[in-house]
Amino acid sequence: MTILCIVDIDECLNNVTNKCSFKDLCNNIERGYTCSCPDGFRLENDGRTCKEINVYIECNGTGWGPNCQNECNCAPGAVSCDSTKGCVCQIGYNGAHCENDVDECADNPCDKQLEYCENIPGSFLCKCYQGYSKISSKCTNIDECKTNKSNCEQICSDFDGGYKCSCFPGFYLTDNGKCKDINECENDNVCDQVCTDLSPGYNCSCNPGYYLDMHNGKTCKGIDNK
């Protein structure tokens, strides 16, 4: 009589015979093996394949996560509430609920020489410094002297980013930007005898018995000295 010894083969040790989706969850049994799946997966009818369980159902924007257990509570900076990720922020916002406005001006993306950055909700603006105007998306110097924006009474001198007011000879610029006549006659050394202020300038003359030296227009000489 011949006795046969049956030796069990461990299919789990061979990647060819191990048909489990997760090889390390293969359990050898007599005359075969069984497969199991990790959390979040279920074993299909073939006893080998693991399929992911979709525990994230449609939450209609009111919650997110497994069984919509987390409340969205998204801020205005959110585009939507994803059923698996939560609040989805629009560009320019961050935070768990998209409640934080990103300050894009922190890195100053504008032209630092001609523009300053103004942060606005969800974005930023590049604005021209005073004295410049944006033309074709570029800040260009404004010639205030040509556009009559200078309010200069007499002389206007334009320069990049601004202008300067000045006055004609015989006038001086006051603190309020007006040109006022200089009274040269207040200086005792202007004329020898009689000084008449003009606008602009002044005129020298002499007392009776004297005549004005025409060489300098200031000195008076006695008629008897002619």
Residue 3 pLDDT: 56
For residue 47, what is the domain's CATH number?
2.10.25.10
Q: Is the pLDDT confidence value at 174 over 80? A: yes
Residues 213 and 202 in one domain: yes
Burial (Cβ within 10 Å: 0-12, 13-18, ≥19) of residue 146: exposed
Q: What is the pTM of this model?
A: 0.51
| Cβ-contact 158, 166 below 8 angstroms | no
User: In the chain, how many domains are there?
Assistant: 5
What does the pLDDT look like over 106-159, one tens digit per residue? 988 999 899 999 999 999 999 999 999 998 889 999 998 988 777 888 999 999
Report the DSSP pairing between strands 63-64 and 50-52. unpaired
Query: Does 6 map to a domain?
Result: no
Structural domain range at position 146: 142-180
What does the pLDDT look like over 178-197, one tens digit per residue? 999 989 898 778 899 999 99
Query: Does 159 map to a domain?
Result: yes
The percentage of the chain sitting over the pLDDT mark of 70, rounded to a whole number, equals 94
- Name the amino acid, one letter, at 194: V
Rounded to an integer, the average pLDDT of 3-24 is 85
